[in-house]
Structure 1
Amino acid sequence: MPMSRRSFLAAAAVASTGALALPSGASAAGGPPPFGVTVPWGPFDAAAWSRRVATLGAAPRYALWYASFVEAPDPAKLAAVSAAGVVPVLSWEPWDPARKNQKAFALARFLDGDHDATIRRWGDALARYGGPVHLRFAHEMNAGGYPWAVGVQGNTAAQYVATWRRVHGLLRSRGATRVVRVWSPNVSFPGSAPLASVFPGAEHVDVVGIDGYNWGTVRRDSTWQSPSRVFDATAAELRRIAPGKPLLLAETASTERGGDKARWIAELFRWMAAQRDVRGLIWFDENKETDWRIASSQASLAAFREAVARR
């Protein structure tokens, strides 16, 4: 999510050519699509993951975490996640979160080649890892909350598209051909960058992600929103921009404040089950601006357990 608000193993895995095969949105039994959760750990913590599985009553099939451009690539964590039968979803953030000044990460600097060495180093590491990874580079570019976003530091939509293509081109040139390219905007809102202007093109994107949250009454300018209200308009827009591309709710969650979170969770899974192109969701399982966690209350946890038990 923006600073101000801040994959299961496919039926046929990503081929060595980088081609993508994903199942339909609903499970074979007619239940909701697969789910995932964020994981905060540095090296993959198998014991913590086992506790998470026990708490949820079902095994998540995506694990998402975040890495900045100043962090070294961690193929060992990717391999450990894959070995657990889970698809790693890596949100690769082009910035240094410890810096106050982010001018070095303006998109123009990427196009000037300032970060090519870092990108090649990551490409080499991903190639050595050799397994599939959903790579979510520079997410929420339309929302204005990050130094790579359109309208920040003089960044333009055209620069974003060119940067996306340059980064993924360099990764592939180093042999990282099993990277699933996840383009992941925030849900549209008044004043956000038009999604069509920041879409890198169908040949440069494998999966279209959507980040959307129910903020309830956490902020003075927010109200309780149903899952359909959060996602419908943006999903329809993305289907026009990228017809035929699989959709993934790459970040989602609800607050407890302002409504019934347990009911919201049940509605979310029903909404997903009705969308044939939505391949799954990843829950932002953190206590941050509000308590987004699945287990923020017993009622919330029970609703989630019931929803995933139907899979």
Structure 2
Amino acid sequence: MTDDECPELVTRCRFGAWSALGGTPVEDHRALEARLGAALPVFSWFSALHDWDAGTAGGIAAFDPADPYDCMVCLEPWDTRLADVVSGARDGYFRRWAGGARAYPGRVLVRLMHEANGNWYPWSVAHESDAVTDPEQWQEAWRRVVGIARGQGATNVAFVFCTNTNDVGGVPAEAYWPGAEWVDVVGVDGYNWGWDAAGRPQVTAEQVIGPMYRRLTALHPTAEFVVGEIGCAAGPGKAAWHEALYRSRRFPRLTRVAYFHEAKEQDWRLDSDEATLRVHRRYLARAPR
């Protein structure tokens, strides 16, 4: 399917979010769904390297037992040297984690060591830490984790090679590529950080997604594409920015979009103003479960 043949994104893509409102991830996701008046069947959350969080996973599974939500977990190796992953020193942990993930009744999408092509996480070569020595070590660590999960029979677990929308720090996304046989899904994270004096966004949603969509789908000929995080800073055009995303007819391999619903560096929330809230309510009512 070409871009010209694509129906609107809202009719063919599952939407979800990371919601941070001060409660537990499950409580905050429920609160966001209530605010939007719609289901968000992609549940995005973050985990450091500790055992599989059965409590959170059980809460996610309970949302819709007949058709479980996608469990999109960002697995972040804070305070971990990738040399220890490569050597096998962390194999026991990853076996336990994969065994827990295997028990989830739906699909688990793992954004492992996300946004490595930036310079703000210690698992990025461009970061000032020495947690990873070079892209080859990063690739070896990725392949070891994926191999362990597959060895545990976790067939519901898909590993997402998820990059930042731009390369920052001099090490491009392609340098980390571990090989198509070790990647199940490709994806991107990105944001519109602000507006110019004329009220135009720094980047549209299509401009956030498009460049890395082309690069990553070229690396993997068949993998689906997901948006692991996306958001738009507050401004007079925020509602229109999101409406254009829902109405996009591009990116035929895009299957899932997860919003970042938190007032953090900017106010990325989906209800930061009434016009934006109305757009989400209107379009998410049409989105597939």
User: What TM bracket, shorter-length normalisation?
Assistant: 0.7 to 0.9
Correspondence for 2:257 = 281
Aligned-pair Cα RMSD in Å: 2.5
Q: Kindly report which structure 2 residues correspond to 1:10-25, keeping only aligned pairs within 5 A, or say none.
A: none
Indicate if the aligned counterparts of 1:35 and 1:280 stay in contact, CA closer than 8 A.
yes
Indicate if the aligned counterparts of 1:148 and 1:155 stay in contact, CA closer than 8 A.
no
- CA gap 1:301/1:132 in 2 versus in 1, 3 angstroms: same
Q: Which moved more, 1:85-94 or 1:120-129?
A: 120-129
SS in 2 for 1:304: helix
Provide the TM-score with structure 2 as the length reference. Answer: 0.84
Q: Which moved more, 1:242-251 or 1:125-134?
A: 125-134
2:83 aligned with 1:108:
yes
How far 1:75 sits from its partner (Å)? 2.2
- CA gap 1:61/1:127 in 2 versus in 1, 3 angstroms: closer
What are structure 2's unaligned runs of at least 5 residues? Answer: none
Which amino acid in structure 1 is aligned with residue 153 of structure 2?
Answer: G
2:34 aligned with 1:59:
no
Indicate if the aligned counterparts of 1:32 and 1:269 stay in contact, CA closer than 8 A.
no
Which amino acid in structure 2 is aligned with residue 37 of structure 1?
Answer: A
Indicate if the aligned counterparts of 2:119 and 2:169 stay in contact, CA closer than 8 A.
no
Correspondence for 1:88 = 71
How far 1:205 sits from its partner (Å)? 1.3
Q: Kindly report which structure 2 residues correspond to 1:1-311, keeping only aligned pairs within 5 A, or say none.
A: 31-40=11-20, 42=24, 44-45=26-27, 48-69=28-49, 71-85=50-64, 86-95=69-78, 102=79, 105-129=80-104, 131-152=106-127, 153=130, 154-189=132-167, 191-216=169-194, 224-257=202-235, 260-271=237-248, 273-311=249-287
CA distance in structure 2 between the aligned counterparts of 1:118 and 1:217, rounded to whole angstroms:
44
Tell me the alpha carbon deviations over residues 276-311 of structure 1, each in whole angstroms, 9 at most, x when there is no partner. 111021000011111111011111111222222333
SS in 2 for 1:78: helix
CA distance in structure 2 between the aligned counterparts of 1:169 and 1:214, rounded to whole angstroms:
36
| Identity score, percent | 31
Which amino acid in structure 1 is aligned with residue 112 of structure 2?
Answer: F
Which amino acid in structure 1 is aligned with residue 89 of structure 2?
Answer: D
How far 1:39 sits from its partner (Å)? 3.6
SS in 2 for 1:185: strand
Which amino acid in structure 1 is aligned with residue 219 of structure 2?
Answer: I
How far 1:30 sits from its partner (Å)? 7.6
Q: Aligned residue pairs: how many?
A: 270
SS in 2 for 1:251: strand
SS in 1 for 2:210: helix
How far 1:128 sits from its partner (Å)? 4.0
